[in-house]
Structure 1
């Protein structure tokens, strides 16, 4: 599989486009819809679905426009569906622009999942937010704001929990193969093995 990383918006939140050579998935259409749509046009493959790792505003700011362009179904945790319309929960109330979405998403729970031509595992990794999901493909994960390159997701936002994020990383993500590539919600990719050895927050 090929993955394209687009750091977008004021917080440089990563939007990912996953390709199997025939179809695409979009993960976290974060901001700058024109950039995402332009890249989708360049790739020129149909989009099977749009996945959200969680429902903080900087991860779905371009959702409605990208969904309208692709006509793809949206998937996320049922725990955070109301966050799409609640500016206090999604965090946009703290900033000048209030961000909401009118899409009606499908829900995913922990376990095996299939969206169009893609099969992947859903790992419930709460802590940064209660409905945070990590998506595991063959040799990589998209971890949202749970695990970063030498960092972890903040836990001082609505529904956050330091104990939960540490459990999610130690007992779920760190159990994956060391060579597994981690594509985080912000900053550059890393690997599970590198984080287990060198992450200063959780080893």
Structure 2
């Protein structure tokens, strides 16, 4: 498996391009359009099948329309409890975070612990509310894409509409900290970290 990180959009979201040895892949949280990411797809002749949105804030999905226009085969995946955020700019803070209203229609809504195979990769979707009511993380062998739930030595904000600090900490402790300590955390902002490091050092959840 190969993972490439691109910072996109005005809030500098970590957008990830992930693919395996078969060339099958997916994009996580396209906060804005990235010419470099698109060129990587074409150069490697990748079969990128999905855009996966960890949560429905506008700064994490501002590039969906442009990527879908360029790669029409892309299907958008989000958690079933996040439909209202994706489709309602008054809820998803897109004007506040991105400077314009953003809405997205998901092609597939997933449930907690639902799994998806992309090439040789197996993804498990974990419901991790708190930053938003329907936020999720994407768990793979050795990795977790944590969106805005868990950061390097920090956690996601809960002062936006629908935020719940207690739910966020519970999500981290019960859904993420149960993963092996060497699991690499690929967050929506900031640098990567590991579950073990955060268990020992994160001041919000120690």
The yes-or-no answer on 1:156 pairing with 2:159 is yes
> 2 CA distance for matches of 1:115 and 1:89?
31
Correspondence for 1:86: 88
Instruction: Say whether 1:8 aligns with 2:8.
Output: yes
Shift of 1:87: 1.6
Deviation of residue 8 (structure 1)?
Answer: 1.4
Counterpart for residue 40 of structure 1: 41
Query: Post-superposition shift, 1:120?
Result: 1.3
1:61-100: CA deviation from partner (whole Å, max 9, x where unpaired): 0001112222211110122223233222110232573232
Distance 1:167 1:201 in 2: 11
2:182 is aligned to 179
* Count of residue correspondences: 203
Q: Which residue matches 1:122?
A: 125
TM-aligned CA distance change 1:96 to 1:197, over 3 Å = closer
TM-score, length-scaled by structure 2: 0.92
Inter-CA distance 95–142: structure 2 relative to 1 (3 Å threshold): closer
Secondary structure, aligned partner of 2:39: helix
Taking structure 1 as reference, are residues 107 and 95 closer, same or farther at Cα in structure 2, changes over 3 Å only? closer
Counterpart residue number, 1:53 = 54
Q: CA RMSD in A?
A: 1.6
Instruction: Choose from 62, 71, 74 the match for 1:72.
Output: 74
Out of 125-134 and 96-105, give the one that drifted further.
96-105
Cα separation, 1, equivalents of 2:171 and 2:110 = 17
Structure 1 residues 102, 192: CA separation in 2 closer, same or farther (over 3 Å shift)?
Answer: closer
User: Does the CA-based 8 Å contact 2:87-2:105 persist in structure 1?
Assistant: no
Query: CA shift at 1:48, angstroms?
Result: 1.8
Q: Structure 1 stretches of 5 or more lacking a match?
A: none
Structure-1 separation of matches of 2:31 and 2:100: 14
Superposition TM-score, scaled by structure 1 size = 0.94
Q: 1:182 to 1:65 in 2, by over 3 A?
A: same
Q: 2:142 aligns with which of 135, 139, 142?
A: 139
TM-superposed CA distance for 1:102, in Å, is: 4.7
